[in-house]
Structure 1
Amino acid sequence: MTDDAAWVAPDGSWASSAARRRNMQAIRSRDTKPERLIRRLVHAQGLRYRVAAKPLPGLRRTADMVFRPAKVAVFIDGCYWHGCPEHYVPPKTNSGYWSEKVAGNIARDRDTDRQLTEAGWIVLRFWEHEPPEDCALSIENSVRLNRPSRDQSAIT
C-alpha cells in the first residue's frame, strides 16, 4: 500500500490524491443499489432481460437492462456522473477535469439515445433518485407495448 503523502499523480492523471484515486476506483459502474432494486421489481412482474448488455452489436455502449424482443434499452443514471439537473453539484477539487468528464458523459448519453432511436429502439432513462416502483412500472408498460405478439412472430 502506498503512503498518500509520498504519492504523486502522473502527468494528466485524473486523481488529485491517492485517496481520491482509490475512492473513485471503488465506484460501481453496474449493479448499483438503484439498478438492483429496479431489476428485482421488473423481474417480479415476469419480465426477463439482459443485464449490462449492448443493445446493438456495433455500438460500444451498454444499457443497464436490455429487452431484445421488445427493443427496449433501460439506463439508470447516477446523479453525479450524468449531470442530474436536480442533484448535480460541481466538484470543488480538480473541477475542470470532472466537469468536463460529466459533460462528456451527457453528450455520450444523448448520442446513445439518438443511435438507438434511429435503430428502432425505445430508450428509457431514469435518475437514481426516482422511485423504483415508478421506474419498474414504466419499464413494464414499454416492454409489454413493444413486445412482438406471438401471432406476429409466427408470421414473420
Structure 2
Amino acid sequence: MPEKITKEQRSNNMRAIKSQSMLENAITKALWRNGFRFRKNAKMFGKPDISIKKYKIVIFIDSCFWHCCPIHGNMPKSNQEYWTKKLARNVSRDQEVNEYYQDNGWKVMRIWEHEFKQNFDAAVDSLAKFIRTNSVLKEKHPESLSED
C-alpha cells in the first residue's frame, strides 16, 4: 500500500519529533529535585538520556514504539517492510550501545516509558536506587539503600 503523504511531508513530520519528550523532562526534573546531578542527552555514544560521567552511569528511557516494547510495541499497518527494518535496527543499535558501555566499565540502565506511565514515582525511585547503587552516594547515604 503506497504512502498517503509525500516524502517531503514525511521528512517534515520526522524532523518535528523532539529529542526530548515531556515525559523525559518530568523524569529529569524529579531526579534533580531529589539531589541527583547529571547531563541530559550528552553527546556520547548512543546519546543516553541521562549520564553521570563521574560514576560511569548511563540511563536510557526507551519509548515503547521506537524500541519495540514486548508489551506495548506495535507495527504500523502501512509500509511494513520499512518499519520492520527500521525498528529491528533500533533494537540492534540498543544492544550495540549496551555492549559498548558495559565493555568500557559503565553501568547501563534501560527503562521503558510505560513504567513511568504506570507508576511515575516508583519508576523514578528505581532510577534513584540504580544511581545510588552504582555511585559513591551509597557510601555517603547507606540508609537510602535499605528500601528493599
Coarse TM-score class (shorter-chain normalised): 0.7 to 0.9
Partner AA of 1:86 in structure 2: I
Residue 31 of structure 1 aligns with which residue?
Answer: 20
Q: Which residue of 1 aligns with 2:135?
A: 147
The one-letter code matched in structure 2 to 1:77 is D
Contact map agreement 1:16 1:93 (CA 8 A) in 2: no
Deviation at 1:105, TM superposition (A): 0.4
Q: Deviations over 1:73-131 (max 9, x none)?
A: 01011111111111111111111111110000000001111111111111111111112
Q: Compared with structure 1, are the counterparts of its residues 15 and 74 closer, same or farther at alpha carbon in structure 2 (3 Å cutoff)?
A: farther
Q: CA deviation at 1:143?
A: 1.6
Unaligned 5+ residue runs, structure 2? Answer: 140-148
Q: Distance in 2 between matches of 1:94 and 1:25?
A: 19
- Residue 79 of structure 1: SS of its match in structure 2? coil
CA-based RMSD: 2.4
On the 8 A contact 1:72/1:142 being kept in 2, the answer is no
Q: Is the 8 A contact 1:16 1:94 kept in 2?
A: no
Residue identity in the other structure for 1:83: C
Matching of residue 121 in structure 1 with residue 106 in structure 2: yes
- Offset, 1:69: 1.7
SS in 2 for 1:130: helix
The TM-score with structure 1 as length reference comes to: 0.75
Q: Using the TM superposition, give the Cα deviation of residue 61 of structure 1 relative to its aligned residue in structure 2, in angstroms.
A: 1.8
In the TM superposition, what is the alpha-carbon distance from 1:141 to its structure 2 partner? Answer: 1.3
In 2, Cα distance between the equivalents of 1:79 and 1:133?
19
Instruction: Give 5+ residue unaligned stretches, structure 1.
Output: 1-13, 152-156
Output the TM-score relative to the length of structure 2.
Answer: 0.79
Moved over 3 A (4+): 18-21
